[in-house]
Amino acid sequence: AMRIGVLTSGGDAQGMNAAVRAVARTTLARGAVPYAIREGWEGAVQGGDYIQELAWSDVSGILAEGGTVIGTARSVEFREWSGMHKAALHLLERGIDRLVVIGGDGSLAGTDEFREGWAAHVAQLLEEGAISQQVADAHPSLIVVGLVGSIDNDLVGTDMTIGADTALHRIVDALDQITSTAASHQRTFIVEVMGRHCGYLPLMGAVAGGADYVFTPENPVGPGWEDDLCEKLRRGRAAGRRESMILVAEGATDQTGAHLGAPQIAEAIRERTGEDARITILGHVQRGGTPSAYDRWMSTLLGYAAVQEITQAGHDSEPVVLGVRNNRVTRIPLMKAVRDTRAVKGYVADGDYRAAMAARGTSFTT
Ligand code: F6P
């Protein structure tokens, strides 16, 4: 029977479990055999017990759990040829040459590099006598389907990444809670949120949480930002607002590319208004907890679609990433998704807001 491996890689994201569950059960329903590769690519590098066959009941009860129960890692060894070489051997030992990889852009880029080197690894393993000619002939290429697991919502080609919706819920919950204490004291709060190079979480969090101001990586501040911010805060107070809420992305910068952090913003407010703003850094709270309904059903549909895709793919099919566009499952060539995402990062680094948003091209920005 066909063997299909599934792994989660990079930062965990709520909904990864739903995807793993759907991959395992769809695989079983099709008479194929699912394997979990534990601790991300690190598990493939290590082999042995890290690669485990999954039964139907092994994924029971994980749909509502946050994180990823099969573990994840940012594997250092897998970045080297020698680590990838071990990974190829361990997969071939189990007869696995079809993989559903759930991870962020870094993980998907690493996956693509591995896939490109696959034939060379097979040839080398054959030469080393580690595998037989028969095994080499049976697995001429690695067939990959990627799903995007990242709370950042930073991959080009999909409207939503797995985990982004839940992380946004965490942010909005926190903002609601902070708002009540802020309003009681008529205070200003600066809340730092995750998202690395992508402003999705801070921007949507600001809109959904009713914030007064937002700093995103795509929109670096220019000279005079302190006055603009304080003027807006002052007007809010004059209009009767009891609390002021400022969101700042962990990756926010000024136009010289220097990091713009919450303490710097607090200092600017203190200097201009005499007010002592409070700072809350939400941190990994955003990545934890039970996935939202959206992250559960979307990840389930994507896991199902991934197995459909991978069972139909042949050794000469191009690798794809499955995502969501306008509420439909969509396929994007893996290489293109990785390339376009890198281009967006370049625009963000240059502080070119318009180019970044246009290149990202997701429906929520258009
Ligand atoms: O990519 C997800 C993410 O949570 C980012 O938003 C953040 O920059 C990063 O991971 C934090 O990484 P770590 O969990 O390794 O500290």
Q: What is the pLDDT of residue 362?
A: 60
Per-residue pLDDT reduced to its tens digit, 174-225:
999 999 999 999 999 999 999 999 999 999 999 999 999 999 999 999 999 9
Assign 355 a pLDDT band (cuts: 50, 70, 90).
Answer: confident
Atom of ligand 1 nearest to the CA of 104: 1
* CA dist., res. 60 & res. 69, Å (int): 11
Q: Say what the pTM is.
A: 0.95
Element (H, E) at 188: strand 188-193
Ligand 1 centroid distance, CA of 131 (Å): 38
* Residues 257-277, mean pLDDT to the nearest whole number: 96
Which residue among 76, 162, 194, 201 is best mutated to probe the pocket of ligand 1, counting the most ligand atoms within 8 A of its Cβ?
A: 194
The DSSP code sequence of 103-169 is E-HHHHHHHHHHHHHHHHHHHHHHHTTSS-HHHHHH-SS-EEEEEEB-TT---TT-S--BTHHHHHH
Ligand 1 centroid distance, CA of 11 (Å): 6
Please, what sign has the CA dihedral across residues 83, 85, 88, 89?
negative
Kindly state if the Cβ of 11 falls inside 6 Å of ligand 1.
Answer: yes
| Catalytic residue annotation | 152
pLDDT at 228 over 80: yes
The rounded mean pLDDT for the chain is 95
How much of the chain exceeds pLDDT 70, in percent?
Answer: 99
The protein residue whose alpha carbon is closest to atom 12 in ligand 1 is 11
Assign 329 a pLDDT band (cuts: 50, 70, 90).
Answer: very high
Q: What is the pLDDT of residue 354?
A: 82
Kindly state if the Cβ of 197 falls inside 6 Å of ligand 1.
Answer: no
Atom of ligand 1 nearest to the CA of 13: 2
Angle between helix 334-350 and 105-127 (nearest 10): 130
pLDDT at 365 over 80: no
Per-residue pLDDT reduced to its tens digit, 95-145:
999 999 999 999 999 999 999 999 999 999 999 999 999 999 999 999 999
Q: What is the pLDDT of residue 141?
A: 97
Kindly state if the Cβ of 150 falls inside 6 Å of ligand 1.
Answer: yes
Assign 366 a pLDDT band (cuts: 50, 70, 90).
Answer: very low
Residues 6+ positions from 159 with CB-CB distance below 8 Å: 323, 324, 325, 326, 362, 363, 364
Ligand 1 centroid distance, CA of 186 (Å): 32
Assign 352 a pLDDT band (cuts: 50, 70, 90).
Answer: confident
Per-residue pLDDT reduced to its tens digit, 276-312:
999 999 999 999 999 999 999 999 999 999 999 999 9
* Residues 149-170, mean pLDDT to the nearest whole number: 96
Ligand 1 centroid distance, CA of 72 (Å): 13
Atom of ligand 1 nearest to the CA of 196: 8
Q: What is the pLDDT of residue 209?
A: 96
Q: What is the pLDDT of residue 363?
A: 52
